[in-house]
Amino acid sequence: SYEVTQPLSLSVALGQTARITCGGNNIGSRNAHWYQQKPGQAPVLVIYRDDNRPSGIPERFSGSNSGNTATLTISRAQVGDEADYYCQVWDSNNWVFGGGTKLTVL
């Protein structure tokens, strides 16, 4: 079965750029999606189909996907961006999540 891997944690200075990666075998040939989850809340879709933002998601959030790595980029990181972030792909009627990355804004 297909697997995707994420770093457990990432720290970024306030106002700087955070890049959260999602690794998988030739993940660039699939659509990658990203969710933000804050403590005690349901996940929220922040990027779909590699690089598309749902309405209401700030332009500071962007995505890319190529080769064996999909990346969620958060520009000008804010304290409010502190959360767990999950990547997700679809594989033969299985919806696969990465293990999640905890983002800390210092």
Contact 98, 22 (CB under 8 A): yes
Please give the C-alpha separations between residue 48 and each of 6, 21, 23, 62, 79, in angstroms, as whole numbers. Answer: 17, 15, 16, 10, 23
Q: Give 3-34 as a DSSP string.
A: --B--SEEEE-TTS-EEEEEE-TTGGGS--EE
One residue of 21, 31, 64, 75 binding other proteins per CB under 8 A: 31
> Is residue 48 near other proteins by the rule CB under 8 A?
yes
Number of residues that bind other proteins (CB under 8 A): 24
Minimum Å distance from CB 73 to other proteins? 18
Q: Does 43 interact with other proteins (rule: CB under 8 A)?
A: yes
88 lines the binding site for other proteins (CB under 8 A): yes
Binding site for other proteins (CB under 8 A): 31, 33, 35, 37, 42-45, 48-49, 54, 84, 86, 88-90, 93-100
